Structure 1
Amino acid sequence: MGLLAFFRYLFGCFRRLSSGDSGGVAALASDIASFEITSQVPEQLSRYVVSSKKAQENWYKKLSEEWSQAKTPPQTPEEAARFIIQTLKGHKKADVEGLLAFYKLPQSSQSPQSSPSAEATGVPAPPKPQGAKFELKSLPIDLKSIADGDTVIVYVDAADPRESSTVPQQVRKAATARAKARAAKDFKKADALHKIITDAGYRVVSGQKGEETLAKKYRIRLRGIDAPESSMPYGKEAKEELVKLVQGKRVKVYVYGDDRYGRCVGDIYCNGTFVQEKLLRRGCAWHYNAYDKRPELAAWEKEAREAGIGLWAVANPEKPWEWRKNKKNGS
């Protein structure tokens, strides 16, 4: 990883040596930082858990990602225990308990299936709001995935507990064969295999270190707002604002249903920010009250409108739903 991870690793080692402790928060921090640098998991961990080394590497990848996004990393054994439990929710109970034992952390009564907290994720969102059907945790979002000011494509790691059992066998085989074809520099075959993957609603996503991750594709329509279309006044600015909020970042999406275009309708949170709130307050969208009656959304739109911010800088901006209706009618 970078210089920050290296210094965190050294600091963790110092804390472990100075305290004479082979476990606890300092050990967890040190091992996470070490994994970022070496991609190696602790050597003795297999004596405490039941899953393979490959599975252990997946745990530390998730722990590292959540640790780096947390506003305040765990400081006490209790916080560290909750962090592990909530980051690895959905994994085998024996593995989670074994990891806690390895770091000499309390075996919390909180279930591994409990929803993530703001402490663990840095996102002050409810565990799963009433009415939400499911939750998605995305890989970093790239620029091409942001269509306009209220639509974004997110990719979810196929190894995620919610996804892993539903990946079609032909997709898994194509991903494996594609990696081999690329290693052999047979890019024509690799491209053909990737088409099989994308046609099934998946994609192989490349990370900053060149690692590749098989991921499920979800098109998300931001719930409760309607941003100007790209060819409308302020459409470009609305998209740019959404880009600033989510590009290169991981987001959490609470999905409430589907729209008529097959998109998931959901609320998006990113690094402690409710994305729809930011867009409304910055005058980048309307409250779409025909489909969402939440009073806070109306209040945020009113705040921007009264301040003349963003699209409200003009007296009577055209509403996107009226613009679409006029375009459909040929007006």
Structure 2
Amino acid sequence: MGNALRFLYSNCCKPTAAGDSDSLGPHGVSSATVGVSALAHDLFHFENTSQVPEGLSKHVKSSKKAQANWYRKLVDAWKEAKPPPRTPEEAARLVIQTLKRHQKADVEGLLTFYGLPLPHTLVEVVAQPPTSLPHGVQYEMHTLPVDAKAVADGDTVTVYVSTADPRESSTVPANIHAAAVRRSEARSRRNYEEADALHKQIIDAGYRMLSFQNEEVLAKKYRIRLRGIDAPESAMPYGKEAKMELTKVLQGKSLRVLIYGEDRYGRCVGDIYCNGIFVQELMLKKGLAWHYSAYDKRPELETWEKEARAKRVGLWASKNPEKPWDWRKDRREAN
């Protein structure tokens, strides 16, 4: 078996304790491993035993012989994939592509068995990061990796930019530079009380000391409002799902952000690109945001929303979902 499958089997699919039986997924492993690791576990098991997982027949109509043929093909496809699937979307695409000639119901049943995305929910992101700054961009920033806790909801994230960045270096107040140096000295003396007090001074000024590549980095804080979309508020249907999706996309990643201005709350309004993906496109196509047409007239955003509506994915599973700007207005008026 390929190293990718062996790694996932040994690290993600360890046997579940008997006391955890309530959290088992339909294929008999912990619900925390449903998805990529569970599929890898079963492919590893199949290559060693030629046995398909128990319970699969409850989700598909084909015979055990046909199921074995699927797994044989999936084992080969997984080995040949470079790189191997790492996300539920990648694993789902491998299954769909490998079994595309088989019955749709069986393919969807197999995906459901592993908790993987169904074909109609998969998103193809097509927009490419611009090679030059588009009209209206005031400046561009490249952030340090994003912390999961920095994602406030489906359209707002807090980011940090190193003050070593040429645009930032000339604007750092002298007292903040001095506080960063003094904090480092205090930490070397193990005077953590003084170091914490200095860090509070740095934070209050809109900066923070962050660990990056085994070094302490002084970074400037920015709150980013994703331009052109409006995600459900946290208390609305699909609000939690929108936040989770944005967190999954951004967590641990360094971002390219094109800033167009500020909103009335002092947030920078910008387009975010993450590993070559235009984040607003992804959120719209997954049905986790509206095109905020009152503030952004880009036709492609309107098209991406219409695609999600037509597929009835995400919040569009409801016939008439409440718009977040109406939701906010109603609550302001109620107060």
Q: What aligned pairs does 1:215-230 form with structure 2 within 5 A after superposition?
A: 215-230=219-234
Find the partner of 2:189 among 159, 184, 191. 184
- 1:148 and 2:153 aligned: yes
1:236 alignment partner AA:
K
Asked which structure has the greater CA Rg, the reply is 2
- Per-residue Cα deviation, 1:257-314 (whole angstroms, up to 9, x for no partner): 0000000000000111000000000001000000000000000000001101011111
Q: How do residues 130-279 of structure 1 correspond to structure 2 at under 5 angstroms?
A: 130-207=135-212, 209=214, 211-279=215-283
Unaligned runs of 5+ in 2: 1-127
Cα separation, 2, equivalents of 1:186 and 1:327: 48
Residues of 2 paired with 1:170 and 1:244: CA distance?
A: 36
Q: Percent same amino acid at aligned positions?
A: 64
Q: Give the whole-Å Cα distance in 2 for the aligned partners of 1:278 and 1:170.
A: 41
Runs of 4+ in 1 over 4 A off after TM superposition: none
1:291 maps to amino acid: Y
Q: Give the corresponding residue for 1:282.
A: 286
> SS at the partner of 2:160?
strand
Q: Give the Cα separation in 2 of the matches to 1:126 and 1:298.
A: 23
Counting matched residue pairs gives 208
* Secondary structure, aligned partner of 2:248: helix
SS in 2 for 1:166: coil
Q: Which runs of 5+ in 1 are unaligned?
A: 1-122
**CA deviation vs aligned residue, 1:113-160 (integer Å, no higher than 9, x gap):** xxxxxxxxxx73232111100000000000111100000111111010
For 1:39-50, list aligned pairs within 5 A. Answer: none
Partners of 1:125 and 1:269 within 8 A in 2: no
Quote the residue 2:333 is aligned against: 329
Q: Secondary structure at the match of 1:329?
A: helix
Q: Distance in 2 between matches of 1:268 and 1:221?
A: 9
| TM-score (norm: length of structure 2) | 0.61
- What RMSD in Å do the two structures reach over aligned CA positions? 1.1
SS of the residue 2:273 aligns to: strand
Residue identity in the other structure for 1:182:
R
Q: Write the distance in 2 (CA, Å) between the matches of 1:140 and 1:184.
A: 29
Partners of 1:281 and 1:301 within 8 A in 2: yes
| TM-score (structure 1 length as normaliser) | 0.62
Superimposed CA distance per residue, residues 56-106 of structure 1 (whole angstroms, 9 cap, x where no aligned partner): xxxxxxxxxxxxxxxxxxxxxxxxxxxxxxxxxxxxxxxxxxxxxxxxxxx
